[in-house]
Amino acid sequence: MLPHERSLVNELKNKPFAIVGVNSDPQDKLRTLINNKRVTWPCFFDGGDPQGPIASKWNVSSWPTIYLIDKKGIIRFKDHYLDEKLLRQLLEDGTASASRPAIDDGVIKSKGTQSGK
Partner 1 sequence: MKHVANGIVAVKRTHKLSKSVALVALLFSLLNSSIQLSDASTKTSIESQVESIQKKYSAENEAWIRKMRACKSKAEESKLLPLSPTMTKYVPRMTTLMKSAPKDPGAGTAALWLVTAAENPAQAHDAIGILKKYHLRSKTMDDAITFLWFTRIPEVKDLLKAYIAQQPNKTLKTTATFSLAKMFAEENASVEAIRLFEEVARNGKDIPERKNSVRTLEEAANSHLFELRNLLVGKKAPDIQGTDVIGKQFKLSDFAGKVIMLDFFGFW
Q: Is residue 98 part of the contact set for partner 1 (CB under 8 A)?
A: no
Give 13 or 111: the residue with its C-beta nearer to partner 1.
13
Q: How far is the CB of 36 from partner 1 (least distance, A)?
A: 13
| CB 90, CB 71: distance < 8 Å | yes
Long-range contacts formed by 42-51: CB under 8 A, 24+ apart: 42/18, 44/20, 46/22, 48/24, 49/24, 50/24
Give 87 or 113: the residue with its C-beta nearer to partner 1.
87
Q: How far apart are CA 33 and CA 12, in angstroms?
A: 21
Q: How far apart are CA 102 and CA 64, in angstroms?
A: 32
Q: Is residue 96 part of the contact set for partner 1 (CB under 8 A)?
A: no
| CB 24, CB 50: distance < 8 Å | yes
What is the per-residue binding string for partner 1 in 36-55, x denoting contact by CB under 8 A?
A: ------xxxxx-x-xx-xxx
Q: Is residue 77 part of the contact set for partner 1 (CB under 8 A)?
A: yes
| Residue ranges that bind partner 1, judged by CB under 8 A | 1, 5, 8, 15-27, 29-31, 34, 42-46, 48, 50-51, 53-60, 62-71, 73-82, 87, 90-91
